[in-house]
Amino acid sequence: MQLFDRFNLGNGFSTYFRIDAALDDELKDAVYRVRHSVYCEDLHFEAVRADHREIDVHDAHSVHCLLRTVSEPYHPVGCTRIVLADPSDPDAPLPFEETCAASLDRSILDPARLPRDRIAEISRLAVHRNYRRRKGEEHGPVQIHEEDFASGDQPRFPFIPTSLLLGAVALAERSGIDTVFVLTEPRLAAHFAKLGVEVIQIGSPIEHRGLRIPSVMHVEEIIRNMRRILHPLWHVVREQIGRGFDEAEKRKRLTE
């Protein structure tokens, strides 16, 4: 019996985790602290900050999600974000457009020709060292392994990276985004394909903190084509992310 036939992934996820749109200062602070622990302390991609918060210039026009444990006190597990076009300068390039300026194949897709308010970039996916499960992986980037998808006496499913990817999709959907770009490891793109997510390469690989491939995904296609077994997990993630947007909109109406 295959892993995907053995249990409801939505129920499995909800037993241990919750995922929220980080739309207020408290949740954003938790996101920045997870990022600092991973990008500054573990991977040394960025300099250590005195306030233990990793923030860059793109956060001002990004939407974040935060993955936490379901039981109180909620322990931060991981996070990611979608970088939107800068409303003060919509034609300014997204981060990947600068990093991959020389390697993009614009005959496949030219980001500069797309409506800027309908595109975003998924980035800063980070998982706290306490939840990078295997010994020796605590100080490396999050990984997905073949055995995570295998059947057996104790099959596993990569809830953390998968729910963060789906969280980014939910953020994009609620933000009116059609097309998302990502700089991804080749192996991670292959594993996304196992979930029914088509990751289309749009340029040659570059060296950027390891080998990275510029790729594009279409939000509607991700939702339409994801494997049927993922649907319960997607519905949970979508509902939890959506709840944060609904509450933020309600607060905004009350203050107007």
Query: What average pLDDT does range 202-215 have in this prediction?
Result: 92
Identify whether the C-beta of residue 43 lies closer than 8 Å to the C-beta of residue 139.
Answer: yes
The burial of 218, by beta-carbon neighbours within 10 Å (0-12 exposed, 13-18 middle, 19 or more buried), is given as: middle
- Name the average pLDDT for the chain: 88
Percentage of the chain lying above the pLDDT 70 cut: 88
Domain range summary for the chain, segments of one domain joined by +: 3-255
Q: What confidence score (pLDDT) does residue 67 get?
A: 97
Query: What average pLDDT does range 211-234 have in this prediction?
Result: 94
Least confident segment among 40-54, 55-69, 127-141, 145-159: 145-159
Task: Tell me if the bond preceding 232 is cis, omega within 30° of 0.
Answer: no
Q: What confidence score (pLDDT) does residue 195 get?
A: 83
CA distance 160 to 167: 10
Q: What confidence score (pLDDT) does residue 85 get?
A: 96
CA distance 81 to 35: 11
Q: Which CATH number fits domain 3-255: 3.90.209.20, 3.40.50.620, 3.40.630.30, 3.40.1360.10?
A: 3.40.630.30
Query: What average pLDDT does range 7-12 have in this prediction?
Result: 86
Q: What is the pLDDT of residues 141-178, one digit of tens each?
A: 554 444 443 443 434 578 999 999 999 999 999 999 99
Q: What confidence score (pLDDT) does residue 209 get?
A: 85
Q: With a cut of 90, say whether residue 2 has pLDDT above it.
A: no
Q: With a cut of 80, say whether residue 189 has pLDDT above it.
A: no
SS3 assignment, position 75: coil
- Residue 15 binned pLDDT confidence (cut-offs 50, 70, 90): very high
Query: What average pLDDT does range 193-212 have in this prediction?
Result: 89
Q: What confidence score (pLDDT) does residue 133 get?
A: 57
